[in-house]
């Protein structure tokens, strides 16, 4: 079974084990630079996990719905990530037959990308609502 471990939380646990601590017998501050293998294995087994729903996955092909998406594209000799719109149906202000990927470049108007330029896409994450651990 594959688990998605929260690496940041695990790192904090290891860091806490390796800090300087007061020796119980002498009262001296000593470095805990080593971690027993049994402690390390226990920490890995008990490590906090990240839910699979929280992990966005890249998709290939076309989305089933119109909207804004994060895309990896390969255009004009460069590969990069951008936010683009996907229109499932023809947009009245864009002269393209059928669905298309496009971006509003302000003064240049709409730039339409060929489907072959878009290597993969994923939905935008949900906006931050503030407070708590959301």
Does residue 74 sit in the same domain as residue 49?
A: no
> Do 44 and 92 sit in the same domain of this protein?
no
Q: What count of other Cβ atoms lies within 10 Å of the Cβ of residue 9?
A: 13
> Does 89 fall in a domain?
yes
The token pair that represents 74 in the structure block: 């390969």
Domain boundary among 33, 54, 75: 54
pLDDT band at 50 (very low <50, low <70, confident <90, very high): low
Would 1 be classed as within a structural domain? Answer: no
- Are 112 and 78 contained in the same domain? yes
- Same structural domain, 76 and 110: yes
Q: Are residues 87 and 42 in the same domain?
A: no
Residue range(s) defining the domain that contains residue 119? 67-123
129 within domain boundaries: no
CA gyration radius, the chain: 24
Residues 77 and 49 in one domain: no
User: Tokens at residue 88, please?
Assistant: 């499932």
Q: For the chain, how are helix, strand and coil distributed in percent, rounded to 5?
A: 20, 30, 45
Residues 73 and 111 in one domain: yes
Query: How far is it, in rounded angstroms, from Cα 100 to Cα 62?
Result: 9
Is 72 a domain residue?
yes
Q: What predicted TM-score, i.e. pTM, was given to this entire model?
A: 0.52
Asked if residue 80 and residue 118 are part of one domain, the reply reads yes
The C-alpha atoms of residue 47 and residue 39 are separated, in whole angstroms, by: 12
Whether residue 25 lies inside any domain: the answer is: yes
CA 115/CA 74 separation, integer angstroms: 10
For the beta carbon of residue 72, count every other beta carbon within 10 angstroms: 15
Q: Looking at residue 91, what is its pLDDT?
A: 60
Locate tokens 């990896």: which residue?
72
pLDDT digits (tens, 9 = 90+) for 30-48: 666 666 777 777 777 787 7
What tens digit of pLDDT does each residue of 57-100 get? Answer: 788 888 888 889 999 988 888 898 888 888 876 665 656 666 77
Q: Do 73 and 117 lie in a common domain?
A: yes
Total domain count, the chain:
2
Within this chain, do residues 47 and 76 fall inside the same structural domain, yes or no? Answer: no
């Amino acid at each position: 079974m594959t688990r998605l471990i929260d690496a940041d939380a695990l790192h904090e646990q290891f860091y806490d084990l390796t800090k300087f601590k007061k020796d119980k017998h002498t009262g001296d501050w000593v470095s805990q630079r080593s971690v027993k293998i049994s402690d390390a294995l226990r920490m890995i087994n008990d490590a906090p996990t990240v839910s699979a729903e929280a992990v966005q996955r890249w998709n290939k092909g076309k989305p089933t719905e119109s909207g804004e998406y994060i895309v990896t594209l390969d255009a004009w000799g460069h590969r990069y990530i951008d936010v683009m719109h996907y229109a499932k149906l023809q947009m009245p202000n864009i002269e393209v037959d059928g669905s298309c990927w496009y971006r509003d470049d302000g003064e240049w108007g709409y730039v339409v990308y060929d489907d072959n330029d878009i290597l993969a896409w994923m939905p935008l994450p949900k906006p931050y609502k503030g407070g708590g651990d959301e």
